[in-house]
Amino acid sequence: MDYLPLFANLKNKPVLVVGGGHVATRKVELLNRAGARIQIVAQQLCEELISIHQKNKFEWISTTYQSQQLKKVFLVIAATNNSKLNQRIYKDASSRYLLVNTVDEPQNCSCIFPAIIDRSPIIIAISSSGTAPVLARLLREKIEALLPAHLGLMAKIAGEWRNKVKARFISLSERRSFWHKAFNGLFSHQVARRQLNEARLTLDRQLNDINISSGEIILVGAGPGNSDLLTLRALQVMQIADVLLYDSLVSKEILDLSRRDADRICVGKRANSHSTTQEEINSMLIKLAKQGKCVVRLKGGDPFIFGRGGEELQAAKSAGIPFQVVPGITTALGVAAYTGIPLTHRDYSQSVLFITGHYHSHNSITYWPNLTQSNQTLVIYMGSITAGSIASKLIINGRDLQTPVAVISRGTCQDQKVLIGTLNKLEILTHKMPTPILLIIGEVAKLHHQLSWFKNTENEP
């Protein structure tokens, strides 16, 4: 380990910055956020520093560096484009046992500035020990994307309860258990939704009764299949789940992104082969949440687009279980993009309609005449079994039998397959493809030849 990670309290402490350019500006802005008392030595100031100086955010003490300026300072930063001067500052500061940072010159540093993720009071620092600062910044971006914006606010509220928790629980293990439950449960989700009064009440209830059940159901859209299309929020809640109830359409790659020790229960449903009834799923969700667990209900696509998400939340509401929804990229949008088929286009389609080919037993499609407009795109979910019937009904009601169609299997995944044909051959095309399948009917389907970009196997009749 080349450097020992430390966090320094710079509030009202004198820091000397030598340099007046854009690099010095970045350091000054960071030091101001830390509350440092900044002194600058520079021949001239760039426009950004002039603006900061006009706000009395630092003291411009001299235009020329002198070693005596190092007296009574806590930290020294050399940010000039003069290597000899930077080396001199480093030697002067080191001889006085002062920490010194020389920008972009690690050999002249006794301390370095890491890449920072600021969720104050939570601070995360990442460093490559000066060897690869660009890599450190890239790592910061990746980690920052995983951390919810409410993390700092949650820490501040937790700080208000710290002494109460210490007084309530004698052992360290009991305190850890309390906070683990709070940070991974309803309290965290309430803070994320800025329900701060409710969040404080939740902590109070848990403090008075550690055994209180405060489970929650989180309905999550897993997107069309490719794990790259999972939303950031979906990934965050998957990381805190106690248990995941997932559909068959959710890929292994996506499941592997969830919390490692979370229980995983497949409740997948396929046409004519339901492994779990909807009533059983509803009952399971409620039972697990009442045990105080964070239950993530993971569905392919978006849970509110032919995903029965509304039915499951109605059951949660009736049972008095708190819930939230994380939308996903619905299959129609994701698959259309990955097959190069724009669902609307000024020359071909002025509207798009999503319909399901698998409907409730007491419902049926009764609006066929409204689906036959040549300038309208139809996207049909779960249409593999009823494709022949759908094509016949559309043609009988006036849709041109030569209307272009696309049959897409495993859309957005590496084994995506696309068949392009015409409406009168829809059933034949569908039978050639493994499920799950999405059907796109309309003039835009022929644009696949021109706009296809994602690797796929394409066959034509």
| Helix runs in 276-386, H state only | 278-290, 309-318, 331-338
The domain ranges of the chain are 14-113, 149-212, 214-329, 332-451
- Partners of 422 in the β-ladder: 404
**Is there a catalytic annotation at residue 247?**
yes
Tell me whether residue 224 is annotated as binding.
yes
Amino acid (1-letter code) at residue 236: Q
Catalytic hit among 13, 57, 269, 446: 269
Predicted confidence at residue 83, as pLDDT, reads 93
Residue with tokens 């272009």: 404
First to last CA, the chain: 63
For position 461, what pLDDT does the model report?
47
DSSP-derived letter for residue 240 is S
Do the annotations mark residue 358 as ligand-binding? no
* Architecture in CATH for domain 214-329: 3-Layer(aba) Sandwich (3.40)
Task: Specify the CATH class of 332-451 in words.
Answer: alpha beta
Query: How many residues make up the chain in this entry?
Result: 461
Q: How many CB atoms lie within 10 A of CB 11?
A: 9
Buried b (16+ CB within 10 A) or exposed e, 181-193: bbebbbbbbbbbe
The tokens for 250 are 């959710």
Sheet holding 263-266, edge to edge: 263-266, 243-246, 294-299, 216-221, 323-326
Which CATH number is 14-113's, of 3.40.50.720, 1.10.10.2120, 1.10.3470.10, 2.30.140.10? 3.40.50.720
Catalytic: which of 27, 92, 181, 247? 247
| Residue 397 DSSP one-character state | T
Strands 294-299 and 243-246: parallel
Question: Was 411 annotated as part of a binding site?
Answer: yes
pLDDT in tens, the chain (461 residues): 888 999 999 999 999 999 999 999 999 999 999 999 999 999 999 999 999 999 999 999 999 999 999 999 999 999 999 999 999 999 999 999 999 999 989 899 999 999 899 999 999 999 998 888 899 889 998 888 888 889 999 999 999 999 999 998 888 878 887 888 788 778 888 898 899 999 999 898 888 875 555 688 999 999 999 999 999 889 988 988 889 999 988 989 999 999 888 999 999 866 555 578 999 999 999 999 998 888 999 999 999 999 899 999 999 999 999 899 999 999 999 999 999 999 999 999 999 999 998 765 555 656 788 888 889 999 999 999 999 999 999 999 999 999 999 999 999 999 999 999 999 999 999 999 998 999 999 999 999 999 999 975 454 54
Residues sharing a CB contact under 8 Å with residue 104, sequence separation 6 or more, in sequence order:
23
Whether residue 302 is annotated as binding a ligand: the answer is: yes
- Rounded to two decimals, what is the model's pTM? 0.71
Residue 22 labelled as part of a binding site: yes
